[in-house]
Amino acid sequence: MRTYIKAVKIINSASQWHNQTIDLLLENGIIADINPSGEVEADQIIEAKELYASPSWLDMRVFSGEPGEEYREDFESLAKVLESGGFGAALLMPNTNPIIQNKADIKTILSYNRSQVSQFLPASAVTINCDGENLNEMLDVHHAGATAFTDGSQPLWNSDILVKSLQYLQKFDGLLINFPQDHKLALFGQMNEGKVSTGLGLKGIPHLAEEIVIQRDLELLRYAGGKLHFSCVSSAKSVELIRDAKARGLNVTCDVNIHHLILDDENLESFDTNYKVLPPLRTQKDIKGLIEGVNDGTIDVIVSGHQPYDQDHKKMEFDLAAFGIMGSQIVMPLYHKFLSKEIDLHTFISCIESNPKRILKHVNSKIEVGEEIDLTLFSLNETWRYDEHSNQSKSDNSPFMNTEFSAKVLGVFHQQHQYLDSKFTQS
């Protein structure tokens, strides 16, 4: 299979072609030529307005329904979501039924990677059943292929467990990921604590529920050593705490859910449960602090936090509805529509490509002749509608359903495998 991509602008700081518009020839799983001379014969030719290419992206926080709740999302539908979202890989959280926590679980997930474009990177539970009580056999699952260690949607509330995990993971340079939220301070909370929650009569989750855990964990990291990643920070003060910790030399990284860069707690005045998410949507002040954190490098990664739920979990009284919002398919469209004036494109791509790959020690690709193909193609001038027809997930819990976007992923290439929007292919 020969693929010829015409007039594509490269975003890849490791490549000599960074920021240049070139023609790419792909063949037999490698980049065969760049700017080939003469007439090129190819099985497929790709052209589009404002076409860009970068090494494929990595979504560092994704939830699957499989195993146990395949009706929400199974591996097949999740792979389609990731491909159409431009992601060549995704870190899968362990919160399934049963929990992803042993060698067989890890190997089962990895077996799906042989024949698909988007690669699943399984994260293993830190504690058995993600209950925070007893340490899992992390060395065994590491040897089986676990990429990182986290209790996913469950915070590591036990300080002793967190210290022991940081110490244990140093034996093989493992990464510990924590979702920072104090269970007791967040108990029964439905949204951000503030004037909006008071006006709506809903129990709030204070900023302190996140910030006090981050303060604790940073002190424990200083004491124990190791590597710690905070997932889904949501407050401006959290960013300040992490910024200071990095300046003091602590080995800490963090990510933010893209929805927390766009939406605030006032969106919940509609009582639309699609805005109900953990951590809760905060305030405009927090959004400003989070965007500053992305721009100055305090926040390393932007994630989708893809957590699919069917209508049975969302179409109910607000306090009974599940927390969660999906979004792997529309990360780039959301950025282009709402954030492109706040965060430059190169910074954004770093937050969904090179930074998560560095943190997870995933293969970092380069766009050069002779390199294995690992590409995401996208256009910033392609109008489309995110609706029930274009949605690739089994679920639909996104407040952006039926939204018009003008950025679209057109293809993902991984070695011999490819996802390609056929509308933009000519033979």
Average pLDDT, the chain: 96
Q: Does residue 65 sit in the same domain as residue 37?
A: no
Which backbone phi and psi does 127 adopt, to 5 degrees?
-115, 150
pLDDT in tens, 79-121: 999 999 999 999 999 999 999 999 999 999 999 998 899 999 9
pLDDT of residue 424: 54
- Asked whether residue 338 carries a pLDDT value surpassing 60, the answer given is yes
Q: Does residue 386 sit in the same domain as residue 346?
A: no
pLDDT in tens, 365-394: 999 999 999 999 999 999 999 999 999 999
- Asked whether residue 223 carries a pLDDT value surpassing 90, the answer given is yes
Domain end (from 325, 360, 395): 360
The secondary structure of residue 113, as a DSSP letter, is: G
Domain end (from 316, 342, 360): 360
Domain tally, the chain: 2
pLDDT in tens, 276-320: 999 999 999 999 999 999 999 999 999 999 999 999 999 999 999
Q: Does residue 131 sit in the same domain as residue 9?
A: no
Q: Does residue 186 sit in the same domain as residue 335?
A: yes
The DSSP H or E segment spanning 109 is helix 103-111
Residue 415 falls in which region: left (phi positive, over 0), alpha (psi -120 to 50) or beta = left
Q: Does residue 98 sit in the same domain as residue 210?
A: yes
Q: Do 32 and 24 meet the contact criterion of CB atoms below 8 Å apart?
A: no
Provide the β-strand partners of residue 2. 27
Q: Does residue 42 sit in the same domain as residue 173?
A: no
Q: Does residue 32 sit in the same domain as residue 83?
A: no
Percentage of residues in the chain having pLDDT higher than 70: 99
Q: Does residue 211 sit in the same domain as residue 124?
A: yes
- Asked whether residue 427 carries a pLDDT value surpassing 50, the answer given is no
Six-digit token string for 51: 């076409």
The DSSP H or E segment spanning 216 is helix 208-224
Q: Does residue 18 sit in the same domain as residue 91?
A: no
- The CATH number of whichever domain residue 49 belongs to comes to 2.30.40.10
Domain end (from 360, 385, 411): 360
Q: Does residue 49 sit in the same domain as residue 63?
A: no
Six-digit token string for 88: 């060549």
pLDDT of residue 132: 94
Six-digit token string for 29: 């799983």
Show Cβ contacts of residue 422 under 8 Å, excluding neighbours closer than 6 positions: none
- The CATH number of whichever domain residue 330 belongs to comes to 3.20.20.140
Q: Does residue 264 sit in the same domain as residue 349?
A: yes
Expressed as residue numbers, the domain containing 151 is 57-360
Q: Does residue 40 sit in the same domain as residue 64?
A: no
